[in-house]
Structure 1
């Protein structure tokens, strides 16, 4: 099992958790799959799936608030800017001893290097979107998201 704070393991997850294709139907199916998994595990999360600049799926479960929507946007914005999971960005900052927002002159109200957002990569193409959850502690957001992505991609294969 991957060490969820080891930078090399986190990068390996990004390499492994890639799609063969990612269209709007795939984005919708992924969002619904995450929603089903969250319900079955008793997680109250906000879920967001984007393709390019378009929000294709968004769901806010009971127990979440508009604050979770803001976290989704802040985490996804960091992923879009840097091309890595928001958890990786936070772990990298902690490992190197810098403040993420200060180092890159980013407004904390706009960018968050907290777990829960993951780049959507299409193999051979690159990043085409983001998938984000908010509602659990940040490490658990990341672990839940990567476990669900792994299961979704396995079912697609």
Structure 2
């Protein structure tokens, strides 16, 4: 496995800006496949032991588990996805907002930690003119790296590179 890169911890304004800018003009089944396969390619380049999930309107459109991932990653995906579905914000941003208030999501959200996890790696899929339509989730790396991988893929996907 390649040496992990040090990922800078983004602040709340940066996280909010990511969500404002990473908006899709449309999102089809083919787009889910393209975004999912882009995430797989990026993860393979890094030999990242992750699971990847894209869900829209309650339907799983893409799922992949790379070598080194485990069934536990699927449980984390479900928990992080529920946070995004509830708050319509990335799981990392939700957790960061609680930490900024001097508390934790687990201590203050009043949500079951077995069902919800405000750890990085789940990001809302938004369409221009439609708003929140689904989630893209990565699990298997430290939370900031899960988040950064999703943001990198969405940035490439929305820019067409």
Instruction: Answer yes or no: is 1:50 the counterpart of 2:32.
Output: no
Distance 2:46 2:100 in 1: 31
Residue aligning to 1:17? 22
Where does the alignment leave 5 or more consecutive residues of structure 1 unmatched?
none
CA RMSD of aligned residues (A): 1.2
TM (normalized to structure 2)?
Answer: 0.92
Distance 1:44 1:25 in 2: 25
Paired residues for 1:67-106 under 5 Å: 67-106=72-111
Distance 1:41 1:62 in 2: 12
Residue aligning to 2:43? 38
Q: Please point out which of 131, 134, 140 is paired with 1:126.
A: 131
TM (normalized to structure 1)?
Answer: 0.94
Distance 1:26 1:57 in 2: 10
Where does the alignment leave 5 or more consecutive residues of structure 2 unmatched?
1-7
Distance 2:68 2:157 in 1: 25
Query: 1:40, CA displacement in angstroms?
Result: 1.4
Distance 1:135 1:11 in 2: 23
Distance 1:50 1:5 in 2: 25
Q: Please point out which of 5, 30, 41 is paired with 2:10.
A: 5
